[in-house]
Structure formats: C-alpha cells, structure tokens
C-alpha cells in the first residue's frame, strides 16, 4: 500500500536505535525527510548514515529531551532544516530502571514533559501542513494494573498512562486545526541492547513468560511498531483521531471497552 507519505517531513525523538530507528527507517523508505534526536552522539552519527542511504534528507542531533531549553531550541532548528514539518513522533522514553523519586522525575521529564514541549512547540508549524499528524509512543504498561518487576515500574506505567490521556484529550482540539493525534502502545519488544535484551540476560524465565503471554508466539520487533506508526502518520489513516493502538502480540488479556 502506498501510504502517500512521499515528500513529507518528520521529526522523531529517540531515533538512534530500537523502535525509534525502525520508525525513522520506515518513514525514510516511504520518502519522508527526517530530523531526529538522541542522546549519544555516536548513535546519532551512525543513524544519519543509515537513513541517508535511503535517499532522503536527514538531520540528526545529540539532544537530551530532559534539557527542556535545549530540546525546544532543537525542535525549532529541526523545522528550519526540514523547511517545515508534517509529522511529529514522540518516541523517546526513560525505561523503568531508576527507582524512587528520581525515577518519577526522570519519567515525567522524558515521557510526559517531552511530549508536551514537543506538541506545544511544533503545533504552530504543523498547522501549516496539509496532512499533519502526531504519534505518541506510550506502552501497554500505561493500562496494566500488574507491572513487571523493575525498579521504576510504577513511575514508568503511571507516566505512560498520563501520556495516553494527554494524547486523547489534545486530539479533540488539534483535529479541528487539521492535526491528528494518536498513540501507539507497544507490548514487549525485543531488540539488541533494549530492555527485553537485558531481561533475557538477567531473568530468562521472565523473558520466556512474556513470550508465552504473547499469544502470537513471539515477542515483538521494532518493525512491528514502526508499521503502526507509519500508518497512523499517513493520510491513509486520515479518519483516525485520539486512538491508542496496542501492538502487543496478544499479551494483554482484556476486552478494551
């Protein structure tokens, strides 16, 4: 299916590896110019080379969204480099690895405030697009009452829940301005160096339990999430507003009324 994305421009946060890189790759393959950020300079440089090989314009920068002033400055410069923006994907996240109040603060500033700053900064530019879309990457942890054992599991899930609520609420107002907002909530996604890679190393029994809970018979891959994001960001999904699409291989055992 042609997603009608050719020639559009996207800003993606946290796109040097894993889900973010898969999203940027797929958008680039669809003809979308990309501006992205990530914390590690080495990862940014490698991703720029990867994405440029797909034949689109690519602008990568080392930015930590926790540094709010630096992050907002970068968003403005990214729009200038792209000469506009049609798609904003808030993908960057603080994994549930920090305990205590520090974990709550990190998840708030990364997952929640990162989204708010991105939306508030880019809305003025997205209004000028003929097919503007925002996709917020949340998590099934945001709708689960039972959390996986991790030091910052409570803060991670709670802030993902807040992100889902925020996206649903702003979607009603921004849709009137021609900007569609939707969320994607991944289930357990495996990639080298990612959270589930670490689980496999330290708690293989938990890894196997998660695999069995995915009734499709495997953990997810970053490409599974990228496919959903590209669709929601595209004109092919032009009637989709305020939805939280759970991509989890059947991990969640509930009926989402």
Residue 45 pLDDT exceeds 80:
yes
- Is residue 255 in some structural domain? no
Q: Residue 143 and residue 244: Cα distance in Å, rounded?
A: 10
Where do runs of H (alpha helix) occur along the chain? 18-29, 41-52, 68-82, 100-107, 113-126, 153-174, 195-202, 204-213, 222-233
Q: Which residues contact 210 (CB under 8 A, 6 or more apart)?
A: 148, 188, 196, 199, 219, 251
- Is residue 3 in some structural domain? no
- Is residue 207 in some structural domain? no
- Is residue 202 in some structural domain? no
Say which CATH number the domain at 112 has.
3.40.50.720
DSSP 53: T
Residue 256 pLDDT exceeds 80:
no
CA–CA distances in Å: residue 235 to residues 69, 154, 232: 32, 36, 8
| pLDDT at position 257 | 67
Q: Which residues contact 245 (CB under 8 A, 6 or more apart)?
A: 182, 183, 184, 185, 228, 232
- Is residue 90 in some structural domain? yes
- Is residue 20 in some structural domain? yes
Per residue in 166-214, pLDDT (tens digit) is 999 999 999 999 999 999 999 999 998 888 888 888 788 888 888 899 9
- Is residue 61 in some structural domain? yes
Domain count, the chain: 1
Per residue in 82-139, pLDDT (tens digit) is 999 999 999 999 988 778 899 999 999 999 999 999 999 999 999 999 999 999 999 9
| pLDDT at position 199 | 80
Query: Average model confidence (pLDDT) for the chain?
Result: 94
- Is residue 197 in some structural domain? no
- pTM given for the model: 0.95
| pLDDT at position 254 | 78
| pLDDT at position 207 | 84
Residue 41 pLDDT exceeds 80:
yes
Residue 216 pLDDT exceeds 80:
yes
Structure tokens, 59: 């602008």
Structure tokens, 251: 């991990």
| Domain ranges, residue 105 | 9-189+221-247
């Amino acid at each position: 299916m042609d997603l009608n994305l050719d020639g559009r421009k996207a800003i993606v946060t946290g796109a040097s590896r894993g889900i973010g890189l898969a999203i940027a790759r797929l958008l680039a393959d669809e003809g979308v110019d990309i501006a992205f950020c990530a914390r590690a300079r080495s990862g940014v440089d490698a991703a720029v080379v990867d994405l440029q090989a797909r034949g689109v314009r690519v602008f990568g920068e080392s930015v930590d969204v926790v540094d709010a002033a630096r992050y907002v400055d970068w968003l403005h410069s990214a729009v200038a480099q792209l000469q506009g923006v049609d798609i904003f994907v808030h993908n960057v996240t603080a994994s549930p690895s920090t305990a205590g109040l520090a974990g709550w603060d990190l998840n708030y500033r990364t997952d929640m405030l990162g989204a708010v700053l991105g939306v508030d900064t880019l809305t003025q530019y997205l209004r000028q697009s003929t097919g503007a879309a925002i996709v917020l990457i949340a998590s099934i942890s945001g709708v689960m009452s039972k959390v996986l054992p991790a030091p910052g599991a409570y803060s991670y899930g709670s802030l993902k829940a807040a992100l889902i609520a925020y996206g649903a609420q702003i979607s009603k107002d921004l849709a009137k301005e021609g900007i569609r907002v939707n969320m994607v909530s991944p289930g357990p996604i495996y990639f080298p160096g990612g959270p589930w890679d670490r689980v496999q190393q330290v708690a293989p029994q938990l890894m196997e339990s998660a695999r069995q809970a995915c009734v499709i018979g495997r953990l997810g891959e970053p490409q599974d999430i990228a496919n959903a994001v590209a669709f929601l960001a595209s004109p092919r999904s032009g009637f989709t507003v305020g939805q939280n699409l759970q991509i989890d291989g059947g991990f969640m055992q509930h009926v989402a009324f």
